[in-house]
A and B are shown apart, each in its own frame.
Chain A
Protein backbone atom coordinates (compact mmCIF):
# COMPACT_ATOMS: atom_id res chain seq x y z
CA UNK A 1 0.00 0.00 0.00
CA UNK A 2 1.53 3.26 -1.11
CA UNK A 3 1.25 6.10 1.32
CA UNK A 4 -0.35 9.30 0.11
CA UNK A 5 0.34 12.42 2.11
CA UNK A 6 -2.42 14.90 1.30
CA UNK A 7 -0.81 17.67 3.30
CA UNK A 8 2.62 17.67 1.67
CA UNK A 9 1.26 16.23 -1.59
CA UNK A 10 3.64 13.31 -1.68
CA UNK A 11 2.97 9.76 -2.90
CA UNK A 12 5.41 7.05 -1.79
CA UNK A 13 5.55 4.00 -4.01
CA UNK A 14 7.35 0.78 -3.07
CA UNK A 15 8.82 -1.30 -5.88
CA UNK A 16 10.65 -4.54 -5.09
CA UNK A 17 13.17 -6.35 -7.32
CA UNK A 18 12.65 -10.05 -6.65
CA UNK A 19 14.41 -13.13 -8.04
CA UNK A 20 16.75 -16.04 -7.32
CA UNK A 21 20.24 -15.59 -5.85
CA UNK A 22 22.87 -13.92 -8.05
CA UNK A 23 20.34 -13.05 -10.77
CA UNK A 24 21.30 -9.36 -10.77
CA UNK A 25 18.78 -7.50 -8.57
CA UNK A 26 21.41 -5.43 -6.80
CA UNK A 27 23.21 -4.85 -10.12
CA UNK A 28 19.98 -3.35 -11.50
CA UNK A 29 19.82 -0.89 -8.61
CA UNK A 30 23.52 -0.07 -8.84
CA UNK A 31 23.13 0.77 -12.52
CA UNK A 32 20.11 2.99 -11.80
CA UNK A 33 22.01 4.69 -8.98
CA UNK A 34 24.95 5.47 -11.29
CA UNK A 35 22.90 6.55 -14.28
CA UNK A 36 20.26 8.70 -12.61
CA UNK A 37 22.46 10.30 -9.96
CA UNK A 38 20.79 13.70 -10.47
CA UNK A 39 17.33 12.47 -9.49
CA UNK A 40 18.56 10.52 -6.50
CA UNK A 41 18.95 12.69 -3.46
CA UNK A 42 20.47 10.20 -1.07
CA UNK A 43 22.91 7.33 -1.03
CA UNK A 44 21.91 3.81 -1.95
CA UNK A 45 21.64 1.74 1.20
CA UNK A 46 22.97 -1.83 0.96
CA UNK A 47 22.87 -4.31 3.79
CA UNK A 48 25.22 -7.06 2.70
CA UNK A 49 27.29 -9.91 4.04
CA UNK A 50 31.08 -9.94 4.05
CA UNK A 51 30.95 -11.89 0.85
CA UNK A 52 29.08 -9.02 -0.84
CA UNK A 53 25.80 -10.87 -1.00
CA UNK A 54 22.62 -9.04 -0.05
CA UNK A 55 21.79 -9.83 3.59
CA UNK A 56 18.59 -7.87 4.12
CA UNK A 57 17.84 -5.48 1.27
CA UNK A 58 19.15 -2.66 -0.91
CA UNK A 59 17.22 0.57 -0.86
CA UNK A 60 17.26 3.39 -3.39
CA UNK A 61 14.86 6.34 -3.16
CA UNK A 62 14.16 8.05 -6.43
CA UNK A 63 12.25 11.25 -7.32
CA UNK A 64 10.07 10.95 -10.37
CA UNK A 65 8.69 14.48 -10.58
CA UNK A 66 5.03 15.37 -10.29
CA UNK A 67 1.72 13.92 -11.41
CA UNK A 68 -1.29 16.20 -10.96
CA UNK A 69 0.60 18.27 -8.40
CA UNK A 70 1.71 15.28 -6.34
CA UNK A 71 5.40 14.50 -5.86
CA UNK A 72 6.01 10.86 -6.72
CA UNK A 73 8.71 9.27 -4.60
CA UNK A 74 9.70 5.85 -5.87
CA UNK A 75 11.37 3.56 -3.33
CA UNK A 76 13.30 0.74 -4.95
CA UNK A 77 14.11 -2.32 -2.84
CA UNK A 78 15.77 -5.63 -3.57
CA UNK A 79 15.31 -8.82 -1.59
CA UNK A 80 18.13 -11.20 -0.62
CA UNK A 81 18.11 -13.96 -3.23
CA UNK A 82 19.66 -16.79 -1.26
CA UNK A 83 17.25 -19.63 -0.52
CA UNK A 84 17.77 -19.50 3.26
CA UNK A 85 16.64 -15.88 3.56
CA UNK A 86 12.93 -16.31 2.83
CA UNK A 87 11.85 -14.80 6.14
CA UNK A 88 13.68 -11.61 5.18
CA UNK A 89 12.23 -11.64 1.67
CA UNK A 90 8.77 -11.71 3.19
CA UNK A 91 9.57 -8.72 5.40
CA UNK A 92 10.73 -6.67 2.41
CA UNK A 93 7.56 -7.51 0.48
CA UNK A 94 5.37 -5.93 3.16
CA UNK A 95 3.36 -3.10 1.62
CA UNK A 96 4.77 -3.64 -1.89
CA UNK A 97 3.10 -1.76 -4.80
CA UNK A 98 4.95 -3.21 -7.79
CA UNK A 99 7.42 -6.03 -8.49
CA UNK A 100 10.17 -6.64 -11.02
CA UNK A 101 10.92 -10.34 -11.25
CA UNK A 102 14.54 -10.68 -12.34
CA UNK A 103 15.13 -14.09 -13.90
CA UNK A 104 18.58 -15.44 -14.62
CA UNK A 105 18.68 -16.40 -18.31
CA UNK A 106 21.57 -18.85 -17.87
CA UNK A 107 20.53 -22.35 -18.84
CA UNK A 108 21.64 -23.90 -15.55
CA UNK A 109 19.47 -21.49 -13.53
CA UNK A 110 16.21 -22.56 -15.15
CA UNK A 111 14.82 -24.43 -12.16
CA UNK A 112 15.88 -21.74 -9.66
CA UNK A 113 13.88 -19.11 -11.52
CA UNK A 114 10.74 -21.22 -11.38
CA UNK A 115 11.19 -21.98 -7.68
CA UNK A 116 11.76 -18.35 -6.86
CA UNK A 117 8.65 -17.26 -8.77
CA UNK A 118 6.57 -19.88 -6.96
CA UNK A 119 7.85 -18.64 -3.65
CA UNK A 120 7.00 -15.06 -4.60
CA UNK A 121 3.45 -16.25 -5.24
CA UNK A 122 3.29 -17.84 -1.77
CA UNK A 123 4.91 -14.89 -0.04
CA UNK A 124 2.43 -12.47 -1.57
CA UNK A 125 -0.44 -14.63 -0.39
CA UNK A 126 0.66 -14.15 3.22
CA UNK A 127 -0.07 -10.45 2.71
CA UNK A 128 -3.35 -11.24 0.92
CA UNK A 129 -1.90 -9.98 -2.35
CA UNK A 130 -2.09 -11.90 -5.60
CA UNK A 131 0.73 -12.33 -8.09
CA UNK A 132 -1.93 -12.14 -10.80
CA UNK A 133 -3.15 -8.73 -9.67
CA UNK A 134 -0.11 -6.85 -8.46
CA UNK A 135 1.81 -4.83 -11.10
CA UNK A 136 4.61 -7.09 -12.27
CA UNK A 137 7.31 -6.91 -14.94
CA UNK A 138 9.60 -9.78 -15.99
CA UNK A 139 13.23 -9.13 -16.70
CA UNK A 140 15.29 -11.86 -18.38
CA UNK A 141 18.74 -10.82 -17.26
CA UNK A 142 22.26 -11.69 -18.40
CA UNK A 143 21.48 -12.00 -22.13
CA UNK A 144 24.94 -10.52 -22.80
CA UNK A 145 26.49 -13.83 -21.67
CA UNK A 146 25.56 -15.37 -25.02
CA UNK A 147 28.42 -13.46 -26.63
CA UNK A 148 30.82 -15.10 -24.20
CA UNK A 149 29.68 -18.59 -25.22
CA UNK A 150 27.67 -19.30 -22.08
CA UNK A 151 24.44 -21.22 -22.81
CA UNK A 152 21.40 -19.00 -22.43
CA UNK A 153 17.75 -20.06 -22.35
CA UNK A 154 15.81 -18.89 -25.41
CA UNK A 155 13.20 -16.22 -24.61
CA UNK A 156 10.42 -18.61 -25.71
CA UNK A 157 11.48 -21.06 -22.98
CA UNK A 158 11.69 -18.36 -20.31
CA UNK A 159 8.30 -17.06 -21.36
CA UNK A 160 6.80 -20.55 -21.19
CA UNK A 161 8.39 -21.27 -17.79
CA UNK A 162 7.63 -18.00 -16.07
CA UNK A 163 5.15 -15.92 -17.99
CA UNK A 164 2.69 -18.26 -19.70
CA UNK A 165 -0.02 -17.70 -17.09
CA UNK A 166 0.95 -14.29 -15.80
CA UNK A 167 1.19 -12.65 -19.24
CA UNK A 168 2.98 -9.58 -17.92
CA UNK A 169 5.32 -7.27 -19.85
CA UNK A 170 8.86 -8.67 -20.20
CA UNK A 171 12.30 -7.44 -21.19
CA UNK A 172 15.53 -9.10 -22.16
CA UNK A 173 18.20 -7.28 -20.24
CA UNK A 174 21.76 -7.06 -19.11
CA UNK A 175 21.99 -5.31 -15.77
CA UNK A 176 25.77 -5.17 -15.87
CA UNK A 177 25.87 -3.24 -19.16
CA UNK A 178 22.59 -1.40 -18.49
CA UNK A 179 20.75 -2.86 -21.49
CA UNK A 180 16.98 -2.49 -20.82
CA UNK A 181 17.47 -1.66 -17.15
CA UNK A 182 15.83 1.74 -17.65
CA UNK A 183 13.11 0.22 -19.86
CA UNK A 184 12.22 -2.27 -17.11
CA UNK A 185 12.14 0.49 -14.51
CA UNK A 186 9.97 2.77 -16.63
CA UNK A 187 7.51 -0.03 -17.30
CA UNK A 188 7.11 -1.03 -13.66
CA UNK A 189 6.77 2.60 -12.55
CA UNK A 190 4.05 3.30 -15.10
CA UNK A 191 2.11 0.08 -14.32
CA UNK A 192 2.35 0.75 -10.59
CA UNK A 193 1.28 4.38 -10.81
CA UNK A 194 -1.67 3.43 -13.03
CA UNK A 195 -2.71 0.71 -10.57
CA UNK A 196 -2.54 3.14 -7.63
CA UNK A 197 -4.64 5.65 -9.57
CA UNK A 198 -7.23 2.95 -10.28
CA UNK A 199 -7.42 2.00 -6.60
CA UNK A 200 -8.07 5.60 -5.67
CA UNK A 201 -10.78 6.31 -8.22
Chain B
Protein backbone atom coordinates (compact mmCIF):
# COMPACT_ATOMS: atom_id res chain seq x y z
CA UNK B 1 0.00 0.00 0.00
CA UNK B 2 2.99 2.27 -0.16
CA UNK B 3 2.91 4.42 -3.24
CA UNK B 4 4.56 7.39 -1.60
CA UNK B 5 3.76 11.00 -2.24
CA UNK B 6 2.27 12.31 -5.43
CA UNK B 7 3.70 15.63 -6.54
CA UNK B 8 1.64 18.76 -6.92
CA UNK B 9 2.47 18.83 -10.60
CA UNK B 10 1.19 15.30 -11.12
CA UNK B 11 -2.03 16.07 -9.28
CA UNK B 12 -2.56 19.14 -11.44
CA UNK B 13 -2.02 17.07 -14.56
CA UNK B 14 -4.49 14.46 -13.35
CA UNK B 15 -7.02 17.15 -12.45
CA UNK B 16 -6.82 18.72 -15.87
CA UNK B 17 -7.26 15.33 -17.56
CA UNK B 18 -10.40 14.75 -15.48
CA UNK B 19 -11.78 18.23 -16.19
CA UNK B 20 -11.08 18.13 -19.91
CA UNK B 21 -12.21 14.62 -20.59
CA UNK B 22 -15.04 13.99 -18.14
CA UNK B 23 -16.40 17.12 -16.47
CA UNK B 24 -16.63 18.96 -19.82
CA UNK B 25 -18.53 16.00 -21.18
CA UNK B 26 -21.22 16.59 -18.57
CA UNK B 27 -20.18 14.20 -15.80
CA UNK B 28 -21.34 15.58 -12.41
CA UNK B 29 -18.46 14.43 -10.27
CA UNK B 30 -15.27 12.39 -10.72
CA UNK B 31 -13.22 10.96 -7.86
CA UNK B 32 -9.98 9.03 -7.86
CA UNK B 33 -9.50 6.96 -4.73
CA UNK B 34 -7.02 4.38 -3.55
CA UNK B 35 -8.11 0.94 -2.36
CA UNK B 36 -7.78 2.00 1.30
CA UNK B 37 -10.54 4.56 0.77
CA UNK B 38 -8.36 7.69 0.58
CA UNK B 39 -9.25 10.38 -1.92
CA UNK B 40 -6.47 11.17 -4.36
CA UNK B 41 -8.43 13.89 -6.08
CA UNK B 42 -12.02 14.91 -6.72
CA UNK B 43 -13.50 17.15 -9.41
CA UNK B 44 -17.09 18.27 -9.86
CA UNK B 45 -19.12 20.49 -12.13
CA UNK B 46 -19.65 23.07 -9.39
CA UNK B 47 -23.35 22.38 -8.92
CA UNK B 48 -23.41 18.89 -7.43
CA UNK B 49 -22.25 18.49 -3.85
CA UNK B 50 -21.50 14.96 -2.74
CA UNK B 51 -19.98 13.83 0.53
CA UNK B 52 -16.88 12.54 -1.25
CA UNK B 53 -15.11 11.22 1.87
CA UNK B 54 -17.90 8.85 2.84
CA UNK B 55 -18.28 8.00 -0.80
CA UNK B 56 -14.62 7.01 -1.07
CA UNK B 57 -14.81 4.75 1.99
CA UNK B 58 -17.90 2.98 0.70
CA UNK B 59 -16.61 2.72 -2.86
CA UNK B 60 -13.34 1.13 -1.73
CA UNK B 61 -15.31 -1.37 0.35
CA UNK B 62 -17.68 -2.04 -2.50
CA UNK B 63 -14.88 -2.63 -4.97
CA UNK B 64 -12.97 -4.86 -2.58
CA UNK B 65 -16.11 -6.97 -2.12
CA UNK B 66 -16.63 -7.34 -5.86
CA UNK B 67 -12.96 -8.23 -6.23
CA UNK B 68 -13.37 -11.03 -3.68
CA UNK B 69 -16.46 -12.25 -5.55
CA UNK B 70 -14.49 -12.30 -8.81
CA UNK B 71 -11.91 -14.60 -7.22
CA UNK B 72 -14.71 -16.91 -6.03
CA UNK B 73 -15.92 -17.47 -9.58
CA UNK B 74 -12.38 -17.91 -10.87
CA UNK B 75 -11.91 -14.47 -12.42
CA UNK B 76 -8.78 -12.39 -11.89
CA UNK B 77 -10.87 -9.28 -11.40
CA UNK B 78 -13.99 -7.45 -12.49
CA UNK B 79 -12.31 -4.27 -13.61
CA UNK B 80 -15.45 -2.17 -13.93
CA UNK B 81 -18.77 -1.72 -12.18
CA UNK B 82 -21.86 0.23 -13.07
CA UNK B 83 -24.81 1.24 -10.89
CA UNK B 84 -27.88 2.62 -12.63
CA UNK B 85 -30.49 4.82 -10.99
CA UNK B 86 -33.51 6.90 -12.06
CA UNK B 87 -31.68 10.22 -12.17
CA UNK B 88 -28.04 9.42 -11.58
CA UNK B 89 -25.61 6.65 -12.30
CA UNK B 90 -22.22 5.64 -10.99
CA UNK B 91 -19.43 4.08 -13.01
CA UNK B 92 -16.37 2.53 -11.34
CA UNK B 93 -13.27 1.60 -13.24
CA UNK B 94 -9.94 0.27 -12.05
CA UNK B 95 -6.90 2.36 -13.05
CA UNK B 96 -4.35 -0.05 -11.58
CA UNK B 97 -4.00 -2.23 -8.47
CA UNK B 98 -4.09 0.82 -6.21
CA UNK B 99 -6.42 3.27 -7.91
CA UNK B 100 -10.05 3.49 -8.81
CA UNK B 101 -11.82 6.06 -10.98
CA UNK B 102 -15.41 6.84 -10.04
CA UNK B 103 -17.70 8.88 -12.29
CA UNK B 104 -21.15 10.08 -11.26
CA UNK B 105 -23.37 11.20 -14.10
CA UNK B 106 -26.99 11.95 -14.96
CA UNK B 107 -29.29 10.52 -17.59
CA UNK B 108 -28.12 12.91 -20.35
CA UNK B 109 -24.92 10.97 -20.98
CA UNK B 110 -24.95 7.57 -22.60
CA UNK B 111 -23.03 4.83 -20.85
CA UNK B 112 -21.18 3.87 -24.02
CA UNK B 113 -19.93 7.39 -24.61
CA UNK B 114 -18.78 7.65 -21.00
CA UNK B 115 -16.97 4.33 -21.20
CA UNK B 116 -15.08 5.37 -24.30
CA UNK B 117 -13.89 8.50 -22.53
CA UNK B 118 -13.07 6.65 -19.31
CA UNK B 119 -10.77 4.29 -21.21
CA UNK B 120 -8.96 7.28 -22.67
CA UNK B 121 -8.71 9.03 -19.28
CA UNK B 122 -7.34 5.93 -17.58
CA UNK B 123 -4.61 5.56 -20.17
CA UNK B 124 -3.56 9.18 -19.69
CA UNK B 125 -3.64 8.97 -15.88
CA UNK B 126 -1.54 5.81 -15.89
CA UNK B 127 1.17 7.66 -17.80
CA UNK B 128 1.22 10.48 -15.22
CA UNK B 129 1.01 8.10 -12.24
CA UNK B 130 3.81 5.84 -13.48
CA UNK B 131 6.25 8.76 -13.50
CA UNK B 132 6.40 8.77 -9.70
Tell me the count of chain B residues lying within 8 A, CB to CB, of chain A.
28
Task: Give the Cβ gap from A129 to chain B, nearest Cβ, in Å.
Answer: 9
Which of B3, B11, B12, B54: most chain A Cβ within 10 A? B54
Q: With A6-B5, A6-B7, A61-B54 as given contacts, are A56 and B38 in contact (CB-CB < 8 Å)?
A: no
Closest A residue to B33 using CB positions = A3
Cβ B6 vs Cβ A91 within 8 A: no
Task: Give the Cβ gap from B81 to chain A, nearest Cβ, in Å.
Answer: 16
The interface-forming segment of B22-30, B56-64, B105-113, B121-129 is: B56-64
> Does residue A14 face the partner (Cβ distance < 8 Å to B)?
yes
How far is B39's CA from A2's CA once the two chains are assembled, in angstroms?
10
Q: With A94-B64, A127-B1 as given contacts, are A3 and B57 in contact (CB-CB < 8 Å)?
A: no
> Does residue A57 face the partner (Cβ distance < 8 Å to B)?
yes
Cβ A94 vs Cβ B36 within 8 A: yes
Q: With A7-B12, A12-B38, A14-B38 as given contacts, are A1 and B2 in contact (CB-CB < 8 Å)?
A: yes
How far is B5's CA from A4's CA once the two chains are assembled, in angstroms?
6
Give residues 108-159 of A contacting B (CB, 8 Å): 127
Task: Give the Cβ gap from B108 to chain A, nearest Cβ, in Å.
Answer: 27
Give residues 1-60 of A contacting B (CB, 8 Å): 1-7, 12, 14, 41-43, 45, 47, 56-57, 59
How far is B40's CA from A75's CA once the two chains are assembled, in angstroms?
14
How far is B20's CA from A144's CA once the two chains are assembled, in angstroms?
58
Task: Give the Cβ gap from B91 to chain A, nearest Cβ, in Å.
Answer: 21
Cβ A87 vs Cβ B68 within 8 A: yes
> Which residues on the B side are within 8 Å of A61 (C-beta)?
53-54, 57
How far is B62's CA from A45's CA once the two chains are assembled, in angstroms?
13
13 A-B pairs with C-beta separation under 8 A: A3-B36, A5-B11, A5-B41, A7-B11, A14-B38, A45-B57, A56-B61, A61-B53, A75-B37, A91-B68, A94-B35, A95-B38, A127-B1
Q: With contacts A6-B7, A14-B36, A94-B36 known, what are 6 further pairs, Cβ within 8 A?
A: A1-B36, A7-B11, A12-B39, A41-B51, A61-B54, A91-B61
Which A residues are closer than 8 A to B by beta carbons? 1-7, 12, 14, 41-43, 45, 47, 56-57, 59, 61, 73, 75, 77, 87, 91-92, 94-96, 127
Which B residues are closer than 8 A to A by beta carbons? 1-3, 5-8, 11-12, 15, 34-41, 51, 53-54, 57-58, 60-61, 64-65, 68
